Amino acid sequence: MGKKNKTAITPTRAENYSEWYQQVVKASKMADQSPVRGCMVIKPWGYALWENIMGVLDNMFKETGVKNAYFPLFIPLSFLEKEAEHVEGFAKECAVVTHHRLEKKSNGGLEPAGMLNEPLIVRPTSETIIGDSFSKWVSSYRDLPLLINQWANVVRWEMRTRVFLRTSEFLWQEGHTVHATAEEAVERTQMMLEVYARFAQEYLAMPVIKGRKTASERFPGAVDTLCIEAMMQDRKGLQSGTSHFLGQNFARASEIKFQSSTEKEEYAWTTSWGASTRLIGGLIMTHGDDDGVILPPRVASAHVVLMPIIRKPEDRTTVMAYVESLEKELKDKYYHHRRLEVEIDDRDIGGARGWEWIKKGIPLRVEIGPRDITDDSVYVGRRDKGHRDKTSMKRNRFVGEVTDILDEIQQNLFERALLFRKAHSINIDDKKEFYEFFTPKNSEEPEIHGGFALSHWCGEDRCESKIKEDLSVTIRCIPLSGPSEKGTCIYCGGPSSRRVVFAKAY
């Protein structure tokens, strides 16, 4: 005792949270920095996770009648300018295409040539370019609702980037719908928020609060922005999916009109909603520990790794045959609509092998050596438990129960995260207490403090922005559920009818 337990990741969360995050991503082999400022390379282990996220979300969208389509990467500058708040919101972070070829310079190098008449913006989001198509697709109320989704890359030129959480290019889906009435569009906005919330909780095992953004945090051009907010292990908030009611703003900008059933021409009502590779960052920061990533089984890049233990060369044939037959048996099983994904790792690299899979966060590690085979047993380690906490199980029992074990891990991760959020969420009614809550104590890692403060707010921009100025704390959301309750604004003491969620945020 006395000696510090070694962890696979240095530094630990408590020592330096943001550096821990970078190291966890690196050790998991999920992504790399790229030589292009702020862009990331998503490696196979990270991309497989994204494929699973896409697969589940895509099905959930399609179940609500949404169809996929694809629209241009480029948006003419004049399109972006059509909605005043929208262009204002994105002008500071646009990649701009100005030329369409390269020409030899006198020194032999190449320079941009073939200047475009009008600059093109690499889409930061596609309301305006999709709106142009919608204006052609919609002419009668019979064409509505129009329910479209796009899986795509988008670019927002960020100055400070962090892999998965904030990158200049990221992958996402953006849903865009058109409706005949405001009510129907509002209903769709809420429906898609529900989809995101359900996905986050049931698949990412990430508890979320469903809420509404304040005016200052709204999507540029939206009438109303709904969101799901999760708490990371440094107690900061992470916005993990947003659903916007756009009113008629973008319909006016793009001339999306329809003939109503009473033969009047009307502007339509639109929504948009999106979730991105940021979810992967959220998942890592929700579940990861000082040994690396922990992947929730329902979206995990793979479910089980089989690690044959071969100490003597003459054991290889027997052990590998056993392992391969077990692989086959496992791969025939289904877990949440996909077949179990099983890896065999027979590299002879000692303890580094197991640690690599721990760092990658695979839910189940299974060791199999000659003695296990004699006993028809396997030696199972769960990623949600300590790395020494392994169990010998009869092979048949393991195969029979493997999907239950995975669901137990899934459940366990969710409950742990929920307990964590509860432990760091607090009603605060006193201004001094509020300021102390969001100020690091000397004894703490300066990045880990605070949490979700549920406090009253008068509804004024001024109080919100003062708090942001003083503490870098923002209103993450006004929760959709939860009781109305009379109180006084934590900043100005003005009247308030409900608590909102204050937190530092990514």
Separation of alpha carbons 7 and 24, rounded Å:
11
Secondary structure class of 13 (helix, strand, coil): coil
Which phi and psi (to 5°) does residue 363 adopt? -60, -40
By the 10 Å C-beta count (0-12 exposed, 13-18 middle, 19+ buried), 352 is classed as: exposed
Which phi and psi (to 5°) does residue 7 adopt? -115, 155
Cβ pair 460, 494 in contact under 8 A: yes
| Interface with a copy of itself (CB under 8 A), residue from 41, 182, 321, 423 | 41
Spell out, one character per residue from 306 to 345, where the chain touches a copy of itself: x when CB under 8 A holds, - when not.
----------------------------------------
Contacts to a copy of itself from residues 159-218, by CB under 8 A: 169, 171
Nearest partner of 319 among 365, 372, 366, 357, judged by Cα: 372
Give residue 442's identity as a one-letter amino acid code: N
Sign of CA dihedral 388, 234, 239, 427: positive
Element (H, E) at 69: none
By the 10 Å C-beta count (0-12 exposed, 13-18 middle, 19+ buried), 426 is classed as: middle
| Interface with a copy of itself (CB under 8 A), residue from 143, 157, 320, 412 | 157
Contacts to a copy of itself from residues 461-500, by CB under 8 A: none
CA angle (493, 499, 505) in 5-degree steps? 100
Secondary structure class of 126 (helix, strand, coil): coil
Q: Binding segment for a copy of itself among 87-95, 231-239, 303-311, 406-414 (CB under 8 A)?
A: 87-95
DSSP state for residue 385 in the 8-state scheme: S
Q: Binding segment for a copy of itself among 1-9, 45-53, 303-311, 443-451 (CB under 8 A)?
A: 45-53
Identity of the residue, 70 or 312, whose beta carbon is nearer to a copy of itself in the bound complex: 70
Determine, following the binding rule CB under 8 A, whether residue 122 of this chain makes contact with a copy of itself: yes
- What minimum distance in Å lies between the beta carbon of 300 and a copy of itself? 15
Determine, following the binding rule CB under 8 A, whether residue 65 of this chain makes contact with a copy of itself: no
Identity of the residue, 51 or 433, whose beta carbon is nearer to a copy of itself in the bound complex: 51
Sign of CA dihedral 217, 235, 471, 165: negative
Determine, following the binding rule CB under 8 A, whether residue 99 of this chain makes contact with a copy of itself: yes
Distances (CA, A) of 410 to 69, 241, 298, 363, 365: 33, 21, 7, 9, 15
Q: Binding segment for a copy of itself among 62-70, 320-328, 399-407, 415-423 (CB under 8 A)?
A: 62-70
- What minimum distance in Å lies between the beta carbon of 36 and a copy of itself? 4
Determine, following the binding rule CB under 8 A, whether residue 267 of this chain makes contact with a copy of itself: no
| Interface with a copy of itself (CB under 8 A), residue from 8, 14, 77, 418 | 77
- What minimum distance in Å lies between the beta carbon of 237 and a copy of itself? 27
Identity of the residue, 118 or 389, whose beta carbon is nearer to a copy of itself in the bound complex: 118
| Interface with a copy of itself (CB under 8 A), residue from 112, 400, 440, 446 | 112
Nearest partner of 230 among 195, 192, 276, 282, judged by Cα: 282
Q: What Rg do the C-alpha atoms of the chain give, in angstroms? A: 26
Determine, following the binding rule CB under 8 A, whether residue 258 of this chain makes contact with a copy of itself: no
Identity of the residue, 82 or 235, whose beta carbon is nearer to a copy of itself in the bound complex: 82
| Interface with a copy of itself (CB under 8 A), residue from 8, 19, 64, 73 | 73
Q: Total residues contacting a copy of itself (rule CB under 8 A)?
A: 63
Residues that bind a copy of itself (CB under 8 A): 32, 34-36, 39-44, 46-48, 50-51, 67-77, 79-81, 87, 91-103, 109-112, 114, 119-122, 129, 132-133, 136, 148, 152-153, 155, 157, 169, 171
